[in-house]
Homo-oligomer: A and B are copies of this chain.
Amino acid sequence: MIVGIVGGGQLARMLALAGYPLDFEFLILDPVPDASAAPLGAHLCGNYNDRALLADLAKRADVVTYEFENVPQESIKYLAEHTAVHPSHHTLAIARDRMREKTMFRELGIPTAPFAEVNSRSDLENAVAEIGLPAVLKTRTLGYDGKGQTVLRSPADLDTAWKQLGSMPLILEGYIPFDREISVIAVRGLHGETKFYPISENTHRDGVLLLSTSRPDDPMQQQAQNYAKRLLDSLNYVGVLALELFQVGETLLANEMAPRVHNSGHWTIEGAETSQFENHLRAILGLPLGATTPVGYVAMVNFIGTIPKPEQVLALPGAHLHDYGKEARPGRKLGHATLRAQNEKMLAEGINQLLTLAQPEIKI
């Protein structure tokens, strides 16, 4: 089977690594000549809207998937007209638009922070009046890792924010003083079967995920899973879906969903019976889903902007290095390490050591 992936970053790379043992081959569409996933498949090197490359991809691939939401909508639509594409074009259209996404959450009875559509300066005034401050003004599309958003703390912030973002369709969301950020990685097969990984507790720095941990029997597991299941079934979804939520007391508020494998699920490579990458491939190819049961106590630390020497990571007991082979740039995700331990105490010790390697100035 030949799997096409739109986007050749680390998610595509880890998908391909998970797919070789199942004897899948990969076609990678990415404009960057040294894309992270390029060595692991045939590289269609060109823009995401290059019609000739898209036609080639559609012709050769048995199924096409994508590793990021911001791929041009028309490209996915074109591909879907010529081959199987999972998750669907329809799902992507919702997931890439915060307004449609939040509206869907609301329609499915999944709690969210208060939100309002903002298309004009007066919309913004009205939204602030309704939601109150602090609040977060976000672009409806194209935001990721904290980009395309700004926090409004006082009425004086509105001018600056409007100047910064006002040219784009926006959404204003209530600022949530959450207790923790969690995510649930869910997967739905071609025939409707669903599975859910143990939820991840996520810590961000400067808007970028730094640390994910997962504990057995998290008290919020069932609630998170129920919300994810509503989304999966309602979208007739195929593949892995990540749902990010804020926990406030005993309540979960949905923040956003990602129609793809997700950074907060990287720990599943070593820490679950079947990784999110393998299960995404199993799902989109109509194969039985694999067990999502945890294997040991696990955590994942991202290497952002800088990556330790391999010998530093590999010397830590239970640490597993994933270097994406990318050139270092500030703020860029260059790799991660999963830590697998036999108990919580060993895990906590290992996390501290990994965080010291990842960002020497930070301790948790």
A interface residues (Cβ-Cβ under 8 A, vs B): 13, 17, 20-23, 25, 39-41, 273-274, 282, 287-288, 290-291, 295-296, 310-311, 314-315, 317-318, 320-325, 335, 340
Contacts and interface: CB of A to CB of B under 8 A. Distances in A.
Contact of A323 (B21, B41, B274, B322): B21
29 contacts: A13-B20, A17-B20, A17-B21, A20-B40, A21-B321, A21-B322, A21-B323, A22-B321, A23-B310, A23-B323, A23-B324, A23-B325, A23-B335, A25-B39, A39-B40, A40-B40, A273-B318, A273-B340, A274-B320, A282-B314, A287-B311, A287-B314, A288-B311, A288-B314, A288-B315, A291-B317, A291-B318, A295-B295, A295-B296
Of the candidates A25, A41, A321, the one having the most CB atoms from chain B within 10 angstroms of its own CB is: A321
A349 to B, nearest CB: 15
A40 B21 CA distance: 12
Of the candidates A13, A21, A315, A322, the one having the most CB atoms from chain B within 10 angstroms of its own CB is: A21
Copy tally for this chain in the complex stands at: 2
Contacts of A21: 17, 320-323
Nearest to A20: B17
Contacts of A40: 20, 39-40
A325 B39 CA distance: 18
A340 B293 CA distance: 12
Given A21-B322, A39-B41, 13 more contacts: A17-B17, A17-B20, A17-B21, A20-B325, A23-B323, A23-B325, A23-B335, A25-B39, A39-B40, A287-B314, A288-B315, A290-B314, A295-B340
A20 B323 CA distance: 8
A49 B287 CA distance: 43
B20 A310 contact: no
Nearest to A285: B310
A129 to B, nearest CB: 51
Contacts of A22: 310, 321, 323
A192 B288 CA distance: 44
A23 B39 CA distance: 11
Contacts of A318: 273, 291
A80 B21 CA distance: 32
Contacts of A317: 291
Contacts of A314: 282, 287-288, 290
A17 B323 CA distance: 13
A138 to B, nearest CB: 34
Contacts of A321: 21-22
A314 to B, nearest CB: 5
A211 B315 CA distance: 32
Contacts of A340: 273, 295
